[in-house]
Each structure stands twice: as C-alpha cells, then as structure tokens.
Structure 1
C-alpha cells in the first residue's frame, strides 16, 4: 500500500473449507467461475478488472492481477472481498487486508468552472481547474507550476496586462473562481489552455467584448498636402483602454457627439 489507480497489482484468492483447507482436490475441489471481487471499503471503489474470478485453471486458487481505477478519500480504505453466491457451490465471503489506492501521475487538466459565455476585455475571468490522471482522478499531489495561455495571446494572472502566465495549484486544484485571469484583446471563439510539458487542458470557447470607451484613434494616415475646401477621407475609431475597437458588446460606441478639430499650431 498504496496501489496506483489504473495499474494492475497481484492478488491471490483461495477457496477454503470450514477448517481453512484449500479446496484444491477431492470431490469438493472448487473450480467454478462465479466468484466476484469487490471493494468492501467505505469508498466502494469499482474493481474494473477482473469482473469474476475463474478458478478453473487451478482448483481452489485464483491468482492474477486486479485493477482499480478510482482513488480513496482516505488511507487504507480499500478491502477486497471475494464471494460466490451463485453456485452450484457457494463460498462465503473473504476479505483482504485494508490498503490505499492513490491517483496516477498527471495526464491532463479539466476545467470544472469555465469562463462565462461573454467576458469583458481587462475584466476578471473566473475558472476552476483540476489536474487529473489518465482515469480522470484528481491528482492531489500536483502543485505545478503550469503555464496559462489563450488564443489572443494577451492572458495574464493577477492583473490585466500584467504578463504573468505561470499558475500554481494546491492539492491538484487551481481555484480562480474569485476572478484571477485577465484577457485584454476582444475577440470571439477564445479558449484558455493550461499546460505542463505535454499535458494540457482547454476551456470552452467564449467571447471577450471590448471594454468601456477610453479614447479615439485616427487610424487614417492623411496624405499631405490636402487642398482647402476639398473633402478627404478619414477613419476614426472609438477604443477602450486596451485599444479594442468598440464595435460590439454592451460597450459598443454608437453616439454622435464626438467632435473633430484641428489640434495643430494653426
């Protein structure tokens, strides 16, 4: 103890009589295949293999590997119990010693709390991420650090535009439900990816809408000279703090009070 979730371990089960003799010979030799093996501990983990024990190979004795894919909530919480209630020869229950099944190594990350369908540029984004093994058990020994990234390339932890992309886990969990991640570029179909080496996990996709109006930008490069009284083309964009154009979302700018003046020395 402990055993690792998803990894087979060796077990020997013997069918015995009242006096503890192995039923390996004689008219009472036990060679049936109806015995079951279950976890009789408080967690009741599922024995994924084998489903039944076949004593046909060696009467009275079953030897093989057992696989349990789940993990314990505490120490020494698994007790294997063998029993044949089907017959024709029924055999009473027998229990193993108590032992522990722990999670395997990191295999992937899972978002148990995904970003909202629509977030705002520069606003706090709440997520909850778990480190999982190949059987989807929480790897409670994992502490990271892991790297966080997104499809816009502007994500950071702790503050908007802060540039921090390394996150730490406690007991296999990253609790960012208070709003710890920030993305500053507005876009659609965004996803957040957490990775550690070759192990990754991606959030659901979502939209980041522009923030509130912050400034105007004249994006046209106006050729010089222009002729007095002759119209020329200009493009002006309303933008947020992060330079996103306010063309969508709740902060879309569609007003008509902006003025355009000559700010030069004349």
Structure 2
C-alpha cells in the first residue's frame, strides 16, 4: 500500500493549473512549488513577465516549472497542454481547472459573443482538460481533479447570467466525473470561493459600478461584500488550504463535492 501523502507533501507530483499566470491560479501554483510539486503554468499575460514568474518559481523552490500557452477557447490546444505535461514532466497527478472570465450586463443587453466566450472558458475548457487527463490518471492508478467553481455555482446574482450558468455547469460536471471515476482512485471536486480580491473581481467592481452608476467603494460594500456575512474578502491562503486538502490523501474520501470557501455566503 502506498505511503500516506499529507497535504504538505507534493513532492514528485505534477500539477497542471489553467489560468495560473495571476490571481488564484498563481497562488495555487506557488503553493505547489513550495511543497515540492512540479507545475505547468497556463494563462494570459506578457511573455517576458510569464517567463520571469516561471523561472523564479523554479529557482526558489528547486522544482520543475513549465508554461503552456493553450487558449482556453480551443479544445485541441487544451488537450495538447495535458499531453505536454506528461511529455515534459513524466506524469499528471493533479489537474486544476481555474481559468475564468466575467462580464456583468443585464440579460437583454448581454452580448452574445460574451456569453459564448464565458461558457467556453469557464465551463467547456474544464471538459476538454478533464477528457484529456483522465486516461493518464487511470494509467497511473491515481488522480485529483479540482475545479475552481464559485459561490455562483450554487447561488445566483443579477447581471451575471453567463458566469452563473457556467459555474453551475462546473458543479454538475464535477459530480458527473466523480461518479464515473469513483472506482479508479481519481477524485473530482469543486472549490466554490466567495469574492477574492483578484484582477477578475476588480473588473467586476468596475462593471457593477457602471451598471449600477455607483462609486467603486460603494459597490464593494453594498454589492460585493454584502453577499458575504464575514464582510471580508476570501484570501488566497484560505483557498490554498482547501486545495491542498483535496489534492492530498487526506481528501481521498471527498468526491463530487462543492467545497465552499465563501465567508458564509451560501449558508444564507
């Protein structure tokens, strides 16, 4: 029987994280590297800055860090990213579907192209990555799939039709994959954060200020943090804790779950 692997030990593990050049994804990648895991980064940004981030993680933690520029709108590129992880790093232990975008608009004015883009990046990209990763994980006899959903995967808010639909879809996808793989030592779970102060939330604050004709500070207090009884943003450290639990043997019995890290939002 393999030795128990604690949440603080990711040595020898290979982790692919989509949307990991900034925000939550980069925080998760940093946590993996700090615990001895190898990482494939993915995401948008300036090429020189991405390389600087990649090299710094590799040098500081003594692990292998790679970057793949798969476009989350393109299923073939997503599959190639998964294949790249195995080709470069030898295996794939943990897949984190984190990439996401947002647009805030009344339903009657919601741009069709934005709907299509959000569904593709926030939902369909997870399908493509999971589809490509499962054969590798089955061959290894172990795997962890972690989808970064949202409190909006469980409840709704106005003006976010595409995002809420996509995140509800992620929860459904998570449950289905968990059931299919329950006998294969592969778990599939979702983390549902409340509002974390990241670039995507900054953009939401700007959009809500525009839609509601309100100052940013009022939006933060009256709209954003109004949802969270704690009245505080969720921290990336709190999300890292949930991620490490699900990625480790400690979380082996948790499967098909939507793990909330939302300051009490969805308890209401």
Shorter-normalised TM range: under 0.3
Name the larger-Rg structure.
Answer: 1
User: Which of the pair is proportionally richer in helix?
Assistant: 2
- TM-score (norm. length: structure 1): 0.21
Question: Higher relative contact order by CA 8 Å / sep ≥ 6: 1 or 2?
Answer: 2
